[in-house]
């Protein structure tokens, strides 16, 4: 088989005695992940060995298998892929009331997605059933007072059979069914010649109805009470970022679908939906964490202005985290954002240590410049040591290549580079913020006509100490 040939090629190419493909098993009656069910569907599952440290990735092996198999002319749908725990990279639900309109929109979207060189394995969950004969009444049928139900019942009785009698034989019941002989119900021509009984005689079916051969859906999927057809696609490069592709779909495909099919509503599924839900949770938790940080800082410093300059460290550290992702070639993901939430609580530690020492120096009678300089000198070692040890502890995770570490690396990058960047900013620019804030206080005091003021006397820690003494 093609899979065995690929396995043999891999063993020869990499001179590896351990098989890359451990075993395969096939299933008939259901396609991959149950997208289609029936005797016409099937799938082959390929189990790989532990690919940790292997010279080739699972995705590369799957691509080789796909090329080895090539095109299958008689197959309506053929894909080679794997299970993605986060959902398909591109997964879009088409919702509406009319299944015919949804089917047209599905075909349109699939054709458009095939134009994207970054996508492959474009499939949908709208499994088509067997061919059906759909009847439509002719004027003659209406004239005879027949309904479509009258005619279809007689057709069904002739081809499928109708129960005419029940016989009791001992404890068993025998049902007697009557239908046309098998040789008279094989072709469409024989269907046309069926005699339909009416109140005025018998008429051939072809005189009463016209018919079309169509394939109806096996089942109608629903999502939020609306009929749904879901279109999905995989990435050619599994490591490529998904957001740019979804942005192209949003700008180039979705507007055309809405314009051509006004009854169709579009909703994202798969990775995009999971990401959106995670972002909502992230926003809620970040607001709670940010509120707690503000409350703690205000209670500690008893000053909104001091709490404000400490909080400025958070967006500064986010810039460092973004720079770190660019340095390592990692896209910023939801996992990176979770790391930034943790970073917002860690990065303010250096600023709190610096500002607390500065306030203590003011209480001992130091001038502004002396207090800032002494705070920088005395807290330099503590700030640098805590930051260096934090980064050193995170860097082994950043450099790890194992599959398990891939989920931790974005968070580790956010923390490590955010802390590093924030530390440098604390030591180099935080004193400037303190000076600038004090200059603004002096300028405001003079603007309102206050006299006999000193820069130190306008600092919140000095004002609060006077209030406490009084």
User: What is the pLDDT at residue 218?
Assistant: 67
If asked whether residues 284 and 378 sit together in one domain, one would say yes
The CATH number for 205's domain is: 3.30.2090.10
Q: Which residue has the higher pLDDT, 115 or 469?
A: 115
Using CA atoms, how far apart are residues 402 and 53, in angstroms rounded to an integer? 8
Beta strands (DSSP E) in 82-157 are 90-96, 119-124, 128-137
pLDDT band at residue 181, thresholds of 50, 70 and 90?
confident
User: What is the pLDDT at residue 377?
Assistant: 92
The total domain count for the chain is 3
Is 142 within the bounds of a domain? yes
Residue 85: pLDDT over 60: yes
Using CA atoms, how far apart are residues 215 and 399, in angstroms rounded to an integer? 54
User: What is the pLDDT at residue 413?
Assistant: 94
If asked whether residues 296 and 370 sit together in one domain, one would say yes
If asked whether residues 187 and 279 sit together in one domain, one would say no
If asked whether residues 438 and 380 sit together in one domain, one would say yes
If asked whether residues 436 and 303 sit together in one domain, one would say yes
Is 79 within the bounds of a domain? yes
| Run of H or E residues at 265 | strand 265-268
User: What is the pLDDT at residue 469?
Assistant: 46
User: What is the pLDDT at residue 38?
Assistant: 67
The CATH number for 433's domain is: 1.20.1640.10
pLDDT band at residue 468, thresholds of 50, 70 and 90?
low
Identify the weakest region by mean pLDDT among 105-109, 136-140, 341-345, 465-469: 465-469
* Residues 39-66: tens digit of each pLDDT: 677 788 888 877 777 778 777 888 888 8
If asked whether residues 63 and 140 sit together in one domain, one would say no
Task: Please state, as a whole number, how many other Cβ atoms lie within 10 Å of the Cβ of residue 142.
Answer: 11
Is the pTM higher than 0.75?
A: no
Question: H-type helices in 312-402, by residue range?
Answer: 313-328, 334-346, 348-363, 368-399
Q: From residue 418, how far is each of 191, 314, 345, 348 by CA, in Å?
A: 76, 9, 11, 11
If asked whether residues 344 and 455 sit together in one domain, one would say yes
pLDDT band at residue 470, thresholds of 50, 70 and 90?
very low
DSSP 312: T
Structure tokens at 370: 């002396």
Is 232 within the bounds of a domain? no
Helix/strand/coil for 97: coil
Q: From residue 189, how far is each of 180, 192, 193 by CA, in Å?
A: 14, 5, 7
Considering 82-96, 409-423, 446-460, the range whose residues carry the highest mean pLDDT is 409-423
| Parent domain of 365 | 274-469
Domain boundary among 57, 83, 109: 83
Q: From residue 439, how far is each of 352, 369, 442 by CA, in Å?
A: 21, 12, 5
Is 121 within the bounds of a domain? no
User: What is the pLDDT at residue 324?
Assistant: 93
**Inter-residue contact 347 to 417 (CB < 8 Å):** no
* Residues 257-311: tens digit of each pLDDT: 999 998 889 888 887 788 778 888 888 888 888 889 889 988 888 888 888 888 8
Q: Comparing C-alpha atoms, which of 275, 286, 225 is closest to residue 246?
A: 275
Considering 130-134, 218-222, 374-378, the range whose residues carry the highest mean pLDDT is 374-378
Rg (Cα) of the chain, in Å, rounded?
Answer: 36
Residues 6+ apart with CB under 8 A from 92: 109, 230, 231, 232, 249, 266, 267, 268, 269
Helix/strand/coil for 90: strand
What's the angle, vertex CA 349, arms to CA 459 and CA 416, rounded to 5? 140
**Mean per-residue pLDDT of the chain:** 84
Question: H-type helices in 87-144, by residue range?
Answer: 99-113, 139-143
Residue 86: pLDDT over 80: no
Using CA atoms, how far apart are residues 207 and 293, in angstroms rounded to an integer? 82
**Inter-residue contact 459 to 354 (CB < 8 Å):** no
If asked whether residues 157 and 36 sit together in one domain, one would say no
Q: Which residue has the higher pLDDT, 246 or 469?
A: 246
Using CA atoms, how far apart are residues 464 and 299, in angstroms rounded to an integer? 12
If asked whether residues 211 and 72 sit together in one domain, one would say no
If asked whether residues 19 and 78 sit together in one domain, one would say yes
Helix/strand/coil for 328: helix
Is 189 within the bounds of a domain? yes
Domain boundary among 175, 190, 217: 217
* Residues 230-254: tens digit of each pLDDT: 888 888 887 777 888 888 888 999 9
User: What is the pLDDT at residue 415?
Assistant: 93
User: What is the pLDDT at residue 414?
Assistant: 93
If asked whether residues 200 and 289 sit together in one domain, one would say no
Q: Which residue has the higher pLDDT, 383 or 39?
A: 383
Is 113 within the bounds of a domain? no
Domain boundary among 46, 61, 83: 83
Is 103 within the bounds of a domain? no
* Residues 91-102: tens digit of each pLDDT: 888 898 888 888
Is 143 within the bounds of a domain? yes
Q: Comparing C-alpha atoms, which of 420, 289, 421 is closest to residue 297?
A: 289
User: What is the pLDDT at residue 34?
Assistant: 59
If asked whether residues 191 and 306 sit together in one domain, one would say no
**Inter-residue contact 458 to 442 (CB < 8 Å):** yes
């Amino acid at each position: 088989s093609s899979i065995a040939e690929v396995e043999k090629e891999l063993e020869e190419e990499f001179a590896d005695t351990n098989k890359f493909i451990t075993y395969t098993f096939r299933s008939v009656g259901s396609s991959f992940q149950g997208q289609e069910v029936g005797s016409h569907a099937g799938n082959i599952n390929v189990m790989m060995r532990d690919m940790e440290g292997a010279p080739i990735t699972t995705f590369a092996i799957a691509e080789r298998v796909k090329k080895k198999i090539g095109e299958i002319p008689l197959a309506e749908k053929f894909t080679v892929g794997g299970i993605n725990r986060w959902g398909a990279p591109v997964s879009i639900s088409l919702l509406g009331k009319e299944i015919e309109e949804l089917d047209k929109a599905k075909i349109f979207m699939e054709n458009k997605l095939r134009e994207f060189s970054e996508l492959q394995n474009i499939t949908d969950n709208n499994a088509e059933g067997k061919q059906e004969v759909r009847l439509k009444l002719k004027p003659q049928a209406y004239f005879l007072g027949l309904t479509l139900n009258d005619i279809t019942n007689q057709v069904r009785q002739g081809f499928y059979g109708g129960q005419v009698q029940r016989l009791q034989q001992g404890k068993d019941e025998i049902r007697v069914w009557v239908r046309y002989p098998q040789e008279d119900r094989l072709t469409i021509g024989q269907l046309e010649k069926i005699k339909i009984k009416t109140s005025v005689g018998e008429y051939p079916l072809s005189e009463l109805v016209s018919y079309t051969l169509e394939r109806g859906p096996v089942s109608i999927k629903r999502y939020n009470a609306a009929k749904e057809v879901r279109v999905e696609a995989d990435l050619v490069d599994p490591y490529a970022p998904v957001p740019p592709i979804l942005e192209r779909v949003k700008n180039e495909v979705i507007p055309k679908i809405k314009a051509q099919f006004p009854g169709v509503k579009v909703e994202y599924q798969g990775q995009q939906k999971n990401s959106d839900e995670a972002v909502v949770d992230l926003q809620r938790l970040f607001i709670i964490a940010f509120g707690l940080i503000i409350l703690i800082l205000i209670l500690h410093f008893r000053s909104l202005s001091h709490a404000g300059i400490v909080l400025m460290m958070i967006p500064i550290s986010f810039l460092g985290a973004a720079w770190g992702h660019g340095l390592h070639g990692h896209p910023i993901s939801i996992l990176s954002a979770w790391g930034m939430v943790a970073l917002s609580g860690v990065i303010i530690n250096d600023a709190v240590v610096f500002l607390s020492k500065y306030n203590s120096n003011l209480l001992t009678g130091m001038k502004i410049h002396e207090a800032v300089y002494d705070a920088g000198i005395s807290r330099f070692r503590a700030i640098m040591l805590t930051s260096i040890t934090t980064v050193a502890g995170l860097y082994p995770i950043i450099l790890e290549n194992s599959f398990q570490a891939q989920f931790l690396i974005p968070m580790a990058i956010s923390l490590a580079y955010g802390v590093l960047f924030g530390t440098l900013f604390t030591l180099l620019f935080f004193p400037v913020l303190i000076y600038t804030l004090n200059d603004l206080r002096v300028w405001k005091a003079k603007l309102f006509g206050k006299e006999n003021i000193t820069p130190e006397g306008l600092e919140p820690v000095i004002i609060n100490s006077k209030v406490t003494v009084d």
